[in-house]
Chains A and B, each alone.
Chain A
Amino acid sequence: MAAHLSSGRVNLTALREAGRRELREFLDKCAGSKAIVWDEYLTGPFGLIAQYSLLKEHEVEKMFTLKPGRLPQADVKNIIFFVRPKLELMDIITDNVLREDRGRSPQRDFHILFVPRRSLLCEQWLKEQGVLGSFIHREQYSLDLIPFDGDLLSMESESAFKECYLESDQTSLYHAAKGLMTLQALYGTIPQIFGKGECARHVANMMIRMKREFPGSQNSIFPVFDTLLLLDRNVDLLTPLATQLTYEGLIDEIYGIQNTYVKLPPEKFAPKKQGEGGKDLPTEPKKLQLNSAEELYAEIRDKNFNAVGSVLSKKAKIISAAFEERHHAKTVGEIKQFVSQLPHMQAARSSLANHTSIAELIKDITTSEDFFDNLTVEQEFMSGIDTDKVNNYIEDCIAQKHPLIKILRLVCLQSVCNSGLKQKVLDHYKREILQTYGYEHILTLNNLEKAGLLKPQTSGRNNYPTIRKTLRLWMDDVNEQNPNDISYVYSGYAPLSVRLAQLLARPGWRSIEEVLKMLPGPHFEERQQLPTGLQKKRQHGENRVTLVFFLGGVTYAEIAALRFLSQMEDGGTEYVIATTKLINGTSWIKSLMEKLEPAPF
């Protein structure tokens, strides 16, 4: 079930196991039969830690989704709410508790499990509603870093970026630091910490402070990680705005990957069996899990989409040939061998069928005129062309009322690639957007301005060209099939964040001091003392392991770029990636938009 977590350089199964243990401990505190009432958002992340069978072993008999009204009938002793500490959820819980039939016997006991942290504000809120006393256990489940894959951890905290950069609320940074402390407890103290950005500085400070205050966390585990690199998302606002062009990145851009699952339109997945032709097509979306447990997916997910087709067709030939083997099997022994391989072959076949269908779906979109036009404009901006005037394509899109998020992504991209827009250009875009999409979006535009994504050019100086040239962000000769540089993930643009990681490993940041000063926030280095005996004696040729923590979100294309660096011959460094949330430009901009009341009809 979780074998793919141990496939990487760092065995992340241990982290998952620790999470499972804590869950069991909590469940056992509430003796007797139980029903869990779920904050729906949590079911996805929890699914990566435990399945229903684990809960069932601990007497969880029923599970419900949290919603207002009376709780469903269930003959259980305990009702446990699994919730994020959010006030609107507290209101629902209050409603549930107040409607509980007091006359029933035996009475059901209530408990709350806050994920990832207890909130005094929420408890205060419950108290004001007069229900706080109804809960016997009020605890927290520190699900900070959830293992997504052998080299990938996420906190899945949707609002982290907004909280950090818009509201200056550092709670999610505190959770990040906590998560890092957990990691260090399991995998040893990380001797070197590098960072860039305000939030990175905060997290490093908290880690050092926590280490000082919890002497118990001094451990004697041989360090698995050599280096921690903390990066603020606002050091690189550009990358998530561009359209990702890796296979996994495009799946996420188009269909949205949630907790390793994707929902796809069912038409292309209809079972084509003889005698069933013409039967009604499935209408429910097809849901697939995407991770490295699937051999084929692990091979193609990080490739540029242009290189995926040829791999799939090669695989198809191999599989066809393998199935053909059965004609040559003559002896009983040969037949037996063929049969023994069948399950593996069948799995490979169904995996190939799925990805061929997904590739077709994506190709329909990437070959559309609009996708091409959009990408053209993105690439112009990123390579520094015409970033200082109103763009025709963006104007056209507004006139045709394309989705607002698409417009915002492009305008923000232009702003970032120009170190802010000329006041006249900015005002023009603003007016067009407000007139076409509604004046209330003035609130969203304001948020984007505050986050630095959309702003007037104040200094009158555009730093982007210098940054682009020094960090080689735009590469003219990209090889999408057999890449030799990370810029393949955006077909030309090398993600700034990953370039920083790459340059840190070799030749070191000293070589780019000037550019680092142009990017927001401080850059720093810290060392954590290791007890003698735990210092690493590196074998010749052994790779270093660096944990890169993206504060405020990371895209699949950036992950692909880091994996590319891990696999480079003589690269010398392998990367494990952690983040507050897996994002793409759309989900990111959405998190910054003002929640508007739905239209009255």
Chain B
Amino acid sequence: MNLKIISTTVTRFGSYYKCVPVAPGFQAEVPKWTGVPSESDSKWLGTKIWPPPVMPGIRFLIERERVGKGRQDQCGCPLQGSIDCVRFHVAERRKRLKLELGSTFQDWKFDQMGEEVAQTWTEEDQKKFSAIVGPNPLSIEKCFWSGIYKSFPRKSREELVSYYFNVFLLKRRRHQNRFAPNDINSDDDD
């Protein structure tokens, strides 16, 4: 039986794949083991970000929560689990994290995560973005990114992608969670 195999195709068109022919080209050269370990270049250790260097005179004064702690069962919000409740607690937790991490909060770009990203976007731009992506981003016929790039010439591609994942998709999920909880989807979306 011949195993002749054919090339792959991306799943946007369905859940098809065909195998790629395995070609020669897996060979890696490994030097002889002499029994004496050879040195690894310490550049590979990267840049240490956490724990931060101890700076004399500066102390982080924050009571740490138990490691692995999740959210409270109950909160004092008038409508627990509502959009406002979630927003309030997210903001609260981010404040706490910022205190805990200090400048590492920015190093890790937490200031560019989540709805925070929308702060540099006008209401109008946000509406325009949503309109271009369309009500059904699942539609595979429509490539919305070319439209997005054209409509926002002053925003970098990175900004646009960031907005997409941090704000647009988040809003969509928020809506699904409350109005279509049996139809949640953040992955077949684009």
Do A and B associate with each other?
no
Interface residues of A (CB under 8 A from B): none
